[in-house]
C-alpha cells in the first residue's frame, strides 16, 4: 500500500490531516487506532514527524504544506531487517552519510531496537521540499534522511535559539553572522557525526515510541533517546578507543 514518489498515497484521511494541520515541525495525527501487532511501528504511524531538526528557512512557509514523498506502509509483522533506498541528492545538495555508514551505526544498537525499522530512505531535495527543509523525518517504520547544501553552509534569516547554538557546538559546527544573515558552517566530519549520532537516532526513537501521543512528549522522548543512544554512546566509544590506543602504545614502549 506504499505510495510512490509521483503518486500521492490513496488515504483520504491522511491527506485531510496534512492539509488542515500542517506546520513546520509538528506531528500530524491520524485517527486510525494502532493495532496491537507491530506496536512500535504502528503507533508511530499515527504521526508524521516532520523534521526532527526542521531547518528554519529564511523564506516563510505559507499555509499547510507537505511536499510529495515516497511513503512506505508499515508491515503487519516486520521481518527484523531494514532496506535502504538512495535517491539522488538533487542539484546543489549532497548526502552527508552513506548506506554503509547508516548500517554500521545502527548495528551498534541492540537488535530489538531495529526490529520495527523497515526502511531508511535517502531522499532527494526538490524545489518543493526547499520550502520546508529538514534533516530527517519519520513516518511509520521508515526513516527519511535529507541532503544539505553541497557547500555544507546553511543560511538563516533569524538568529539561532540557545539550544541550537549548544547543539551545533556539541557536534563541531559553528554559527556566524554577517549583515543580519546567520550561517551555520559544518565540516564533512561534523555533519557526518550529527547525522549518524543525532538525526538518525532521533528518528529511530520516534519509531520506538509507542507510549507518547502529544507532539511535545514525542519530541522530548526522541531528544532523550538521541542524547543517550546517539551522542553519549558515541562519545563513550571514542573515549574507550583512545584509552585502548594509549594502552597499546605504552605496552610497546615498555617492550
Element at 155 (helix H, strand E): strand 153-156
Q: How confident is the model at residue 76, as a pLDDT?
A: 84
b/e string for 48-58 if b means 16 or more Cβ within 10 A?
bbbbbbbbbbe
State how far the Cα of 79 lies from the Cα of 106, in Å rounded to an integer: 16
- The β-bridge partners of 138 are 49, 143
pLDDT score, position 53? 53
Beta-carbon-side half-sphere exposure of residue 225 (alpha carbons within 13 Å): 20
- What is the distance of C-alpha 160 from the center of its chain? 19
Q: Which three cell numbers stand for residue 24?
A: 513546520
CB-facing half-sphere around the CA of 132: CA atoms within 13 A:
21
State how far the Cα of 202 lies from the Cα of 141, in Å rounded to an integer: 13
What sign for the dihedral angle of Cα 204, 210, 211, 217?
A: positive
Q: With contact defined as beta carbons under 8 Å apart, do 144 and 69 qualify? A: yes
Handedness of CA 230, 233, 236, 237 (dihedral sign): negative
> What per-residue confidence (pLDDT) applies to 29?
30
Distance (Å, rounded) from C-alpha 99 to C-alpha 96? 10
- Rounded to two decimals, the pTM is 0.74
What's the number of CA atoms in the CB half-sphere (13 Å) around residue 229? 23
Block residue for cell numbers 502529544: 214
Whole-angstrom CA distances from 138 to 24, 102, 202, 215 are: 14, 15, 9, 13
- Phi and psi at residue 82, to the nearest 5°: -125, 150
**What is the C-alpha separation between 111 and 89, in angstroms, rounded?**
30
Residues 210 and 43 sit within 8 Å (Cβ to Cβ): yes
pLDDT by residue for the chain (255 residues), tens only, comes to 343 333 333 434 444 443 333 333 333 333 333 333 455 554 444 455 555 556 543 333 334 456 678 899 998 888 889 999 999 999 999 999 999 999 999 999 999 999 999 999 999 999 888 888 899 999 999 999 999 999 999 999 889 999 999 999 999 999 999 888 999 999 999 999 999 999 999 999 999 999 999 999 999 999 999 999 999 999 987 776 666 565 455 555 566
| Cell of residue 17, nine digits | 490531516
Amino acid at each position: 500500500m506504499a505510495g510512490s514518489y509521483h503518486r500521492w498515497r490513496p488515504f483520504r484521511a491522511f491527506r485531510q490531516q496534512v492539509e488542515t494541520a500542517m506546520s513546520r515541525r509538528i506531528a500530524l495525527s491520524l485517527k486510525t487506532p494502532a493495532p496491537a501487532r507491530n506496536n512500535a511501528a504502528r503507533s508511530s504511524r499515527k504521526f508524521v514527524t516532520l523534521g526532527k531538526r526542521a531547518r528554519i528557512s529564511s523564506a516563510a512557509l505559507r499555509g499547510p504544506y507537505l511536499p510529495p514523498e515516497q511513503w512506505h506502509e508499515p508491515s503487519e509483522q516486520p521481518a527484523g531487517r531494514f532496506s535502504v533506498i538512495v535517491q539522488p541528492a538533487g542539484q546543489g545538495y549532497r548526502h552527508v552519510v552513506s548506506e554503509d555508514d547508516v548500517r554500521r551505526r545502527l548495528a551498534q544498537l541492540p537488535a530489538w531496537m531495529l526490529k520495527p525499522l523497515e526502511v531508511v530512505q535517502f531522499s532527494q531535495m526538490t524545489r518543493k521540499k526547499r520550502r520546508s527543509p529538514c534533516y530527517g523525518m519519520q513516518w511509520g517504520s521508515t526513516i527519511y534522511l535529507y541532503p544539505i547544501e553541497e557547500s555544507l553552509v546553511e543560511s538563516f534569516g533569524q538568529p539561532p535559539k540557545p539550544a541550537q547554538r549548544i547543539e551545533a557546538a556539541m557536534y563541531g559546527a559553528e554559527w556566524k553572522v554577517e549583515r543580519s544573515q546567520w550561517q551555520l558552517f559544518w565540516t564533512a566530519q561534523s555533519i557526518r557525526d550529527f547525522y549518524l549520532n543525532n538525526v538518525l537516532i532521533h528518528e529511530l526513537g520516534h519509531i520506538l515510541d509507542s507510549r507518547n501521543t502529544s507532539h511535545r512528549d514525542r519530541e522530548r522522548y526522541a531528544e532523550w533517546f538521541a542524547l543517550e543512544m546517539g551522542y553519549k554512546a558515541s562519545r563513550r566509544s571514542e573515549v574507550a578507543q583512545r584509552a585502548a590506543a594509549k594502552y597499546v602504545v605504552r605496552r610497546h614502549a615498555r617492550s
